[in-house]
Chains A and B, each alone.
Chain A
Amino acid sequence: MSVPHKVGSVKSKQVSSFVMQDEEEGLDTAEGEEWMQGKTLVKPPDQLDLTEAELNEEITRVLKASNPNAPQNVVRYSFKEGCYKPIVFVDQMAIHFELEGNLVHKDSDEGRRLMAEQAEVDDGGGDERPDNVAIKAGKREQKLTNQFNFNERASQTINNAPRDISCQTEPPPRANFSATANQWEIYDFYVEELQRREKSKEKHEGQFLNKEEDRSKKKMIQAETQNDDISQLAMVVKIIERMVNQNIFDDVAQDFMYFEDASDEFRGEKGTLLPLWTFQYDKAKSLSVTALCWNHKYNDLFAVGLGSHEFTQQGGGLILFYTLKNPSYPEFIFNTASGVMCLDIHEHLSYLVAVGLYDGCVAVYNLKKKTDQPIYNSRASSGKHTSAVMQVKWQKDDLDSNHNFISVSADGRVVSWTLVKHELVFTDIIKLPVIDTIPDDLKDVIPTVGTSLDFHKQKDYSFLVGTEHGKIHKGSKYYSSKFLEKYDAHFMNITRVRWNPFHPDVFISCGWDWMVKIWDQTMKSPVFTFELKTSVTDVAWAPYSSTVFAAVTTDGKVHVFDLNINKYEALCQQKVVSKKTKLFNIEFNPVHPIIIVGDDRGHVTSLKLSPNLRKKPKEKKGQDLPKGPEVEIAKMEQLLSSLR
């Protein structure tokens, strides 16, 4: 109870006494008095109006713990005693207010249960989305799979087997090095360096030009090394080119080596010519083949001279060297100023080629040199032929071991050319005799055109010259004024005379009068005569037999004869080129059984002789036939004797 202090201590005492009294007395009076002291009295309307005496009257109240509302005389019937008995202890509790709480002890069952439920609720309330998934998953798990209608299958792909590979490379090269590093060594070195630098400085000051030279030298060296690289490549490329060619022409190569025409057995005497490679060159298309020559050392290499036979159509000329190993492109190409009429390859020095040109020049080419120019040319020197050179032939080296060759030309001269150092020295051998029909005053002017020349195989001083008028003159190198013999061979131009490679007395000639004639030099008239229906442009003896020869004609046919088998007819007359192409040259390969023919389109065709054309005389059982040239001579002799 709050007592205002301003009342005073005395009054407070009074108040306190009043308070104490209150506890003993009744509440009402105390309250009244109390209110009276400090404040104005506010009387509630329903308060009893009492007099002061009544107000001061002390009423004693006693507080009890008993419930006034509780019944004080509760009586209950007791069945035991059978009467009503008063209950002494009556419940004295009076409930003023009751509120049921919601707290539960956590360890009780109820508590635990509630806690568990709450935990679930808490978790669910926190994350809604995973809850959904979880719920769904749960739902899915619950879905039962059909255990009867499906099965699991697994497979394993093949894994590649592992392999161990090891490799040992060559270690980089090593070298040893040793030195000492001292102060004096260093000093010495520096001093040397200094001296060197000073010297080079002097040089530099004096010669600035050198730098530029060095630079150009360096470039040169670089270019050279590049050239070396390319030239090394050239060898490889050549080999590959040949390989490719061999692959392309594989069947031809096989035929060349191995094919022997089996049908020859059934053909009786006749033989055939199997066409092998054709050699053509783009720039030679307008030119005609005028000369062919096999190389003796390299049996697959041959030379082709290209020019023109027509007087009106003269242009440049070409010398091409082909090898059978590369039929698509020539090995060597030489351009000449005028058409090539003839060429010859030296028998021993197979890189020397003598060439006779339409304008009367002779030239010698060296295949070993890379240049396009001949090493000797008769342009500059005098004594050059005034007309086309028809035939050149190499001779044996003369007494000074200089190479020399002989040429016959349309101006009627037979000239020997010697290769002396850097020039060709000419020596007139003989002049062809003029024709009787020409009037005397023109005899010096109009020459006898020599068209063919051949030297005897054994007696190489003896030679034959064929002329345009159809005469063959036999001469000797030792007689320069006169010919030894004269044969009236043909009516027209003689295109070729050749000695027989085996028999010393036999030679063959052919000409535009359609004839091929075989002669014995001792006899004035021919031993054999063959008529071939068109102009014969070339004839050649076979190197393997003394009785076999082949001729080519302007109708594109090759005629092969073997006198041992058939004295009157050719064993083979075969057209080897297309229509209207004339054949001009034929040559036998010294080793292989093939021939090459040149035509007026600039093409060279190679043909293989079938076995019938290459026959050796049959061996009788038990008899040992001697081989070699003697046999051939004997064969020829036999033939000749029968006709003499």
Chain B
Amino acid sequence: MLACKHLIHDINNDNHTDMPEEMRVETMELCVTACEKFATNNESAAKMIKESMDKKFGSSWHVVIGEGFGFEITHEVKNLLYMFFGGGLAVCVWKCS
């Protein structure tokens, strides 16, 4: 975990992403901002991310933030981001109407 901690502020890590480069960068930055802002409250962070994404890229985004969960989702092609934040949080953002 020590090794990871120095990565927290260093790099953005995405395990799987389906987005075009520009969109991906923007979304990752947004997620990082939201998670830092609402470090204790995942719900608010998720809400912030979802609302911003809806405004920027069109309606029906879904956001899940957590430390332990499994998922199976259907997403619109080129609209999925699954990343880790701060060594302990996983954020999954996808669009599906």
Contacts and interface: CB of A to CB of B under 8 A. Distances in A.
A458 interface: no
B80 A177 contact: yes
B1 A187 contact: yes
Given A179-B70, A181-B67, A186 B76 contact: no
B16 interface: yes
A186 B71 contact: no
Interface in B47-74: 66-74
B4 interface: yes
Contact of B92 (A175, A181, A197): A181
Query: Contact size class for A?
Result: 20 to 34
B15 to A, nearest CB: 6
The B contact surface, by secondary structure, is strand
A178 B68 CA distance: 14
Interface string B1-28: 1011001000101011010000000000
Given A172-B76, A173-B76, A177-B82, A193 B71 contact: no
Contact of A190 (B7, B71, B94): B7
B72 A176 contact: yes
A197 B11 CA distance: 10
B71 A183 contact: no
Contact of B84 (A174, A180, A190): A190
B3 A175 contact: no
Contacts of A186: 4, 84, 87-90
A190 B4 CA distance: 6
Given A177-B73, A178-B73, A183 B15 contact: no
Contacts of A181: 66-71, 90, 92
A466 B12 CA distance: 85
Given A174-B74, A186-B84, A193-B7, A179 B96 contact: no
Nearest to B10: A197
Interface in A138-190: 172-183, 185-187, 189-190
B76 A174 contact: yes
Contacts of A174: 74-77, 96
Contacts of B15: 179, 189
A147 to B, nearest CB: 64
A104 interface: no
Contacts of A175: 18, 74-77, 80
Interface in B27-41: none
A245 B70 CA distance: 65
A186 B68 CA distance: 10
Contacts of B7: 190, 193-194
B72 to A, nearest CB: 4
Contacts of B87: 186-187, 190
A200 to B, nearest CB: 11
A183 to B, nearest CB: 6
Nearest to B70: A180
Given A177-B82, A177-B94, A181-B67, A191 B16 contact: no
A600 to B, nearest CB: 63
Contacts of B16: 177, 179
Nearest to B76: A172
A176 B7 CA distance: 30
A173 B73 contact: no
Nearest to B89: A186
A183 B67 CA distance: 6
Ranked nearest first, the 3 interchain pairs of A and B with the lowest CB-CB distance are A181-B90, A178-B72, A190-B4
Interface of A: 172-183, 185-187, 189-191, 193-194, 197
Given A175-B77, A182-B68, A186-B84, 11 more contacts: A172-B77, A174-B75, A176-B75, A179-B71, A179-B82, A181-B67, A181-B90, A183-B67, A186-B89, A187-B1, A189-B84
